[in-house]
Amino acid sequence: MSLLDATHDPALRSWVTSANTPDTDFPVQNLPFGRFRRKGEGQQDTLRVGVAIGDQVLDLRLAAELCPWSNEVAPLLDPLAAGDLAAFMRLGRPAWRAVRAALSAALTADSEQGPFLESCLVPQADVQMAMPCEIGDYTDFYTSIHHATTVGKMFRPDNPLLPNYTWVPIGYHGRSSSIGVSGQLLRRPMGQVKLIDAAEPVLRASSRLDYELELGALMAHGNELGSRIGMDKAEDHIFGLVLFNDWSARDIQPWEYQPLGPFLSKNFGSTVSPWVVTLDALAPFRQPFVRAEGQPQPLPYLDSAHNREAGAISIELEVWLQTQKMQKAQHPGDRLAGSNYASAAYWTLAQLVAHHTVNGCNLRTGDLLGTGTLSGPEPGQGGSMLELGHGGRQALTLSSGELRSFIEDGDTVILRGHCMAEGARRIGFGECRGTVLPALT
């Protein structure tokens, strides 16, 4: 089945005029899903599912009520009208594609449904976004060989990349309860820290707080315990991608992570972007998955013809930092680094799913798979402050004159992502923002 269809036509224009500007993240070719409530509504008010289009949100509850739909599409909109994105995700790819095609046609210029949908739009400035769905379990992988090598050199100069890395997707089970949506206010974590020359560790607030530039894959539906998901079906279990900041306390991490891995250095908070960009929307930006010369080929259970032909996805990623001083001066912040998902990741999305379940582990709707820090091969493409500042030894000078080795209280970290390709319309992910508050001592 072809990955491309009429919804990807770069010539499509919407009757929502803001969706036609060249730099919008949300043209009619994107149509990401998210959950929201209008600003001013109480937390007890039911969340609604919407689709981002330009600077507006299409309220799918109103759209289902006020707009005529085909007999095929109308029942597929029921879970969306009920505010239950997870239930829609469980319907599977044929349903997703049918709804995407219907929404694309309805939002395209000169659509007969346009007059019905005009009253279903809400300005994005007037909504408060929520988590796209409840996240049950969260696994963080380590897919960037560039990040793994750079960090490995800091801790193991003579052996930076452990021998299993090129054979097995490395991951750990994280804490889903502390994942928040963009705009999250995050407390600086406390934890045990042991300095090199100290005889004993001490409990203190982290002074080496860091971000990690990642993507997160939302699982649409899973597998029975004891079964596995093969490479040929793996992507059918992924609904879409979000930007993901897995905050890390670099001074807590080295003391606690041996021998069982990250714990308090990671579980205090992670931040996701609110709009889920579907795999269908990302189809024009697919690329062949190719291992560099000299690298081993994946074992058979991590290989497929589709993965070799189109397993990689070109997504341009950026990290921005806005300090309190910048915010007071209405400065948008400084761009710290950027990378591309296709060149940063050593393992594809399908490989993560196939490996996660090869032992019979059961994935479930709403599970989140983090890619791990997506650092590129060049010096300015580090996906963390740890890399950009060479382990804290080299402070970055910001345009405001401030220096940063790690993230300070009041700083806001902003992740952005977009896709561009010849013959395709630019689409984006919106923003993933998180602001650091002082620790509670």
CB atoms within 10 A of CB 4: 13
Closest CA to 37 of 215, 181, 242, 187: 181
434 neighbors 271 (Cβ within 8 angstroms): yes
How many angstroms separate the Cα of 300 from the Cα of each of 35, 237, 358?
Answer: 39, 20, 12
Phi-psi sector, 401: left (phi>0), alpha (psi -120 to 50), beta = left
147, 237, 356, 418: the catalytic one is 147
For 8, the 3-state DSSP assignment is helix
Q: Rounded to an integer, what distance in angstroms lies between the CA atom of residue 265 and that of residue 234?
A: 31
For residue 209, give the amino acid letter: L
355 belongs to the catalytic site: no
Matching residue, tokens 């790690």: 406
Closest CA to 271 of 396, 119, 412, 113: 412
356 neighbors 232 (Cβ within 8 angstroms): no
Q: Is 257 exposed, middle or buried (0-12, 13-18, 19+ CB in 10 A)?
A: middle
Question: What are the b/e assignments for 161-186, b being 16+ CB within 10 Å?
Answer: eeeebbeebbbbebbbebbbbbebeb
For residue 437, give the amino acid letter: L
Q: Rounded to an integer, what distance in angstroms lies between the CA atom of residue 263 and that of residue 266?
A: 6
Rounded-to-10 torsion of CA 284, 285, 290, 292 = 160
Query: For residue 286, what are the β-bridge partners?
Result: 313
Going by the DSSP 8-state scheme, the letter that residue 266 receives in this structure is: T
Phi-psi sector, 183: left (phi>0), alpha (psi -120 to 50), beta = left
Q: Is 396 exposed, middle or buried (0-12, 13-18, 19+ CB in 10 A)?
A: middle
CA 110 to chain centre: 33
For residue 284, give the amino acid letter: P
Count, in order, helices (H) and strands (E) of the chain. Answer: 12, 26
Q: Which residues are catalytic?
A: 147
